[in-house]
Structure 1
Amino acid sequence: MMKVTDLTRRDIINLTDGAKLGAIKDMHIDPSTGTIKAFVLQGPKKYGVLSAGRDVVVPWEKIKKIGVDAVLVELDTFHNLNYQGGP
């Protein structure tokens, strides 16, 4: 068993290019089954007029391994992710 707070402390690493994608900010959960459908990652910080980037949604199917120190995901490119929020 694992706590959600434990997940938020882990690095999210893309297996495709080794990039660190950001911290888990939230999760999409199916209320009828209680299963996790996606992780919502905090988007990259931006500077200037806009202080934060848009959040990134990683579907459960793209999550390959949840380890002690990191969560490994397999995404083609960072630009192909679904965005949520932001301008």
Structure 2
Amino acid sequence: MNGIDYTFCELREKMVVNICDGKQLGRIIDICVHCGGKVVGLIAPGDTKFFKSLKGCDGIFIPWQNVVRIGDDVILVDLQSGMPPMPCNNC
């Protein structure tokens, strides 16, 4: 990444954009952290129409390794267009 520390409050203000198709996935709604303290991924609203059909799912899980860059206003992620987004399973 870019060597800057961010709080959750700062991250949730940034728009998540998929660099593969330019689609805006919304703002971060949650962060998944491993019990050892390592960030595992981010959770964004994604396509709310699709995910509302999945019981108990509030968004899509974006693995941390798919986060390309965190900028001033945006979080760029690389989600392959051929792969369906991973539903959030509460980490």
TM-score (norm 1): 0.78
Deviation at 1:23, TM superposition (A): 1.5
1:54-87 residue CA offsets vs partner (Å, 9 max, x unmatched)? 41000011100011110000111286111126xx
In the other structure, the counterpart of 1:20 is 24
Q: Which runs of 5+ in 2 are unaligned?
A: none
* Residue 57 (structure 1) aligns with: 61
State the match for 1:42 in structure 2: 45
Larger radius of gyration, structure 1 or 2? Answer: 1
RMSD: 2.0
TM-score w.r.t. the length of structure 2 is 0.75
The alignment of Structure 1 onto Structure 2 pairs a total of residues equal to 79
- SS of residue paired to 1:80: coil
Counterparts of 1:69 and 1:38, CA distance in 2: 19
Greater strand share, structure number: 1
Give every structure 1 segment of 4 or more consecutive aligned residues whose post-TM-superposition deviation is greater than 4 Å.
Answer: none
Task: Specify the code of the residue in structure 2 equivalent to 1:3.
Answer: T
Q: Write the mapping of 1:66-85 to structure 2, written as runs, cut at 5 A.
A: 66-77=70-81, 80-84=84-88
State the percentage of identical aligned residues: 24
